[in-house]
Amino acid sequence: MVALRRLGWGLTGECRYNVGVQKFYDKPQVHEAPPGVRVAARLRIGSVEIAPATVLAPMAGITDTVFRRFIREMDGCGLLMTEFTSADGVVRKKDKKAQRFLHFYPDEHPISSQLFGSNPESLAEAAKMVEQRGFDMLDLNLGCPAKKVVKCNGGSGLLRELPVIQKIFEAVRWAVKIPFTVKFRAGWNEKELVFRELAKMAEGCGLDAVAMHARTREQGYSGQAQWQWIAEMKSLVSIPVIGNGDVRSPEDARAMVAATGCDGVMIGRAAASNPWIFRQIAQYTSAGSYEVASRADRYRMIRRYFVMLIEEGYPDSTGKMKQFASWFTHGVEGGAKLRKVIYEAKCPEGIVTAVDEFFSRSAEAADGLVGG
């Protein structure tokens, strides 16, 4: 079996609400699983079939249309999700940021739009608009731990307001016909765990699936994800359960399924640092082994994403390239030098040229070593 080097670092993304959160994995555990366990080849959520049963987690500042299509080109991801989007912003219609978040292309299907907010009426109205735009599914964010979002009673801020959550579930479920799901943290802290009540409430209100990041809001991205909570939730409901937290490799994905019995696996931080992870999981599921990216693969990957940003006319493509360079270049020999020239570049085209020159010089050096 081909082994993938485990990365002891990761990211949560740059929040568009100016609440940046970057957290490296805390002493990542090595997970073991019985050989016969695999991530499911397919998963049905309401009327939508997801094949394979893997999901790109919604990440602020990361899962825009460019990155989603980039992941789709990499192959192997069953469901894409948008960045979390303010329901109030969607309803206002003139909110350009919200409208940009809801933009997607035909090749992104199946795709789910994730909304956040605390007002049942606004969320229901926004949900209708999402359905009219042609999204396959709708998701409610009850997991974002960012202080500015929580302060407005959004994201995980609602975890202390179960009656409000029930009203939101009921209002949104009544408003749309497309599959409706929810993603949440296990609770505010370990003394206030609410995932059991939330999962049963979601099923009772007619939601089609639940996803849980197996950490608390207080925990943020520190410590270890508590997979046993996902297993317990799976035992409480009959609707599909999607597990999230500390899946950094195909081995981790298989171990999560073995430990929890979850129906699908959601991946966030690892997808930004290793965009091949979904394809690797699919390979691992079908063959029991998977391919590790070569240096040439990394070059093509970095260049392709940067070119896609330029082609999309992405606002501040230069900044976006510099943001992703810190993740994409880890594992590349001499990556620090490449990051330096990327950070010093003044325009997107200059960055692409720097990438071309870096890998060209590396290839020439390698040829020289072989020839010598």
Instruction: Please list the active-site residues.
Output: 144
Q: How far apart are CA 356 and CA 349, in angstroms?
A: 11
Spatial separation of the C-alpha atoms in residues 229 and 187, rounded to whole Å: 11
Residues written for the chain: 372
Instruction: Identify which of 87, 22, 58 has the alpha carbon closest to the alpha carbon of residue 271.
Output: 58
Tokens of 317: 């493509």
Burial (CB < 10 A; 0-12, 13-18, 19+), residue 331, is: middle
CB 84 within 8 A of CB 141: yes
d(CA 25, CA 39): 23
Residue 198 to residue 213: CA distance in whole angstroms: 13
Do the beta carbons of residue 28 and residue 164 sit within 8 Å? no
